[in-house]
Structure 1
Amino acid sequence: MTLVKFNPEKKNSSLLPGFNDIFESVLGDTFFNDRRLSTVPAVNISESNEEYHIELAAPGLRKEDFKVSVERDMLSISTEQRTENNTEGKIYNRREYSYSAFTRSFTLPESANVEQIQAAYTDGVLKLNIPKKEEAKAIARQIEIQ
């Protein structure tokens, strides 16, 4: 008979407590942790009276690496980047290829003017300005109280 240590203080204990410990030790390895990290860049979305602003953090890329497209009311930003190093004559203990790709899609509101979208990539940030249609712009005026 095999005895398995049981730690009742663990929050994720189940009928087989040792079973979880095995998976935590294997999946907690740095090799697997690196693979589980999301490769989707962070995005900030803001709005002004005149337009919508999207800022996508993607350092290390070139503006030629991006593909920005609009189909109906869906804005898609994607990229695919491969880095191949010539490493003849080297012996590796561990080698990780540098290959990254992502696609981010956003549903545009009806008030967005898709014909006049502007994009610029500077300092590792892709900035998109999406103007609003004239009828959607907030009109501010002072109302006189009588």
Structure 2
Amino acid sequence: MSLVKFRRRPFGTLIPSDIFETSNLLRNELWNTQLNEPALNIKETDKAFEVELAAPGFSKKDFEVTIDEGCLNISAENTHSEEEKEENYMRKEFSYNSFEKSLQLPDSVKEEDIKAKYQDGILRFNLTKKEPSKQQKPKKIEIA
């Protein structure tokens, strides 16, 4: 039996700590075609986390965003079809795009205050942080 070192990342699942550093899975910067996931940026400020998800070609109605058991689940799906009929030919084109992404939210995020906005191909989330609780001094417990 062997042990594999895992590192918890605030916005991801438990994955081996070196899986992305040693692989070529994330070569495409805008869209990861091998994993079929859009590019993601996360920025932390004193009061919030700012998440940007690059999803060009979608419209606001194509997205479904839910929160379930501390996970922010984002999915999108769209289809496009075009048909042209002429006397000697018929041309028909269609496309289908979809993705799903789940982010494990840190305990410090106020789930009820999450805001989302889609503009210019970027889906943006503002995840407000909870007020930090005052740390209590460690309490000594006597052993009987």
- Inter-partner Cα distance in structure 1 for 2:34 and 2:114: 31
TM-score normalised per structure 2 = 0.62
Q: Pairwise CA RMSD of aligned residues?
A: 2.3
Identity percentage over the alignment? 38
Instruction: List structure 1 segments (4+ residues) > 6 angstroms apart after TM superposition.
Output: none
Query: Higher helix share goes to which structure?
Result: 1
Higher strand fraction: Structure 1 or Structure 2? 2
Query: Does the Cα contact within 8 Å between 1:69 and 1:76 map onto a contact in 2?
Result: yes
> Which digits, 9 at most, give the CA deviation of each residue in 1:95-128, with x for residues without a partner?
8741011001100011110000000011110000
Task: Structure 1: state its 5+ residue gaps.
Answer: 1-35, 137-146
Q: Which 5+ residue runs of structure 2 have no aligned equivalent?
A: 1-32, 134-144
**Corresponding residue SS for 2:98:** strand
Partner of 1:106: 103
Q: Equivalents in 1 of 2:85, 2:71: separation in Å?
A: 44
The AA in structure 2 aligned to 1:106 is L
Conserved 8 A contact 1:39-1:100: no
The structure with the larger Rg is 1
**Which whole-Å deviations, capped at 9, do the CAs of 1:6-26 have from their partners, x for residues lacking one?**
xxxxxxxxxxxxxxxxxxxxx
**TM-score normalised to structure 1 length:** 0.61
Q: CA deviation at 1:86?
A: 2.2
**Could you tell me how far 1:70 is from its partner in structure 2?**
0.4
CA distance in 2, matches of 1:105, 1:118: 16
Tell me the number of residue pairs that the alignment of Structure 1 and Structure 2 aligns: 100
CA distance in 1, matches of 2:58, 2:71: 23
Please state whether the residue corresponding to 1:59 is helix, strand or coil: coil
d(CA) in 1 for partners of 2:94, 2:35: 16
